[in-house]
């Protein structure tokens, strides 16, 4: 069968051929080096896929992740004592944390 040059040209579809890429084109048959990938620990929509100590999340920096990878602790990005008050009048400016109105040994 003879294919004219016009028919052959029309059958070439350029695009990303890697199905793992965010811009994968299932119609493409010729790679054009256009594949784009998500940043590590994120999916193509920018959602976090894995929490890692040191990443910025929830307005702070993640400094602890439990063994399930679903729970952790985040520190503030700035000093939170600026503008804080001393509600207990003990001479410590800052914000309360922990168990409300309960003494927690070693949590100072």
- Given a contact cutoff of 8 angstroms between Cβ atoms, the answer to whether 16 and 24 are in contact is yes
Residue 9 reports pLDDT greater than 70: no
Bridge partner residues of 42 (DSSP): 48
**Dist CA 55 CA 38 (whole Å):** 15
Q: pTM, whole model, 2 decimals?
A: 0.58
Residue-wise pLDDT tens digits, 13-30: 999 999 999 999 999 999
**Dist CA 56 CA 73 (whole Å):** 11
Residue-wise pLDDT tens digits, 42-82: 999 999 999 999 999 988 999 999 999 888 999 888 776 66
């Amino acid at each position: 069968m003879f294919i004219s040059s016009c028919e052959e040209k029309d059958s070439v579809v350029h695009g990303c051929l890697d199905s793992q890429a965010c811009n994968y084109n299932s119609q493409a048959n010729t790679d054009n080096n256009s594949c784009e990938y998500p940043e590590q620990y994120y999916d193509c929509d920018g959602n976090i896929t894995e929490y890692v100590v040191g990443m910025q999340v929830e307005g702070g920096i993640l400094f602890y992740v439990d063994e399930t990878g679903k729970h952790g602790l985040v520190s503030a990005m700035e000093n939170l004592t600026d503008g804080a008050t001393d509600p207990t009048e003990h001479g410590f400016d800052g914000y309360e944390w922990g168990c409300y109105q309960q003494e927690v040994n070693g949590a100072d």
